[in-house]
Structure 1
């Protein structure tokens, strides 16, 4: 299911969405938390990205695992598989940071939304969630880089 789309490896197609959406989610969520007067302009983007980005990250990791298995069946091994496994570990970590960031961003969105249920929450909750979003965004950005770089080294670094 996750191996190909229209005859092309799905992983190769989906990773481009991850490379764009994870940094967007990170930056827009941080801006939403840190710059309160932008919240009314960014709330829809935070909500949309917080829903779509973890789904895309999940598809990227699942398609990567299918792609890795296909390479094993082709008989590729050694240094190539070691580098693929390193790339996969970064990708798995990125997926979990993306999910955490999305959940924290949605919670921040709900806490600052002005909904009747949100009005009774403690005042310190929004700054704490903003701090969590900032930390998770930083980790997500680092792991987007590490995952992308390790994948690019496999493809373009002379391993294949």
Structure 2
């Protein structure tokens, strides 16, 4: 069987299309068959979470206060006037607007006096070390996945007075 030039062109085109389809097939199957991981950094409202979803705080170490559970009750050292369980729940539920690299670069000269926070989770052997900056209009926090997020809350919401 002898093919014409047009026949060979059609054969080459079909061959290239089959080659591309074979290369793309594993990724397509992976997207269709494997579910998304449950520990995503973004929730349904488009906010970035500070901690992994479904995580539980075991111990929270702020610069001036340490929160830990004893017999199922949250305690603070030193003692604070606020309820320790409320402060811990604030930290566990934080979600904010994601800050992109360009915005972070523009803000970098204003980022002074970082605060470091350690969050021990029940299912992790090592704590998450989070960096927190206070700016005049908002707080800038680096989450467990290394992403920066901005939130607007009063200082006592995150760091209680001792």
**Structure 2 length normalisation: TM-score?**
0.25
More helix per residue: 1 or 2? 1
More strand per residue: 1 or 2? 2
**Structure 1 length normalisation: TM-score?**
0.25
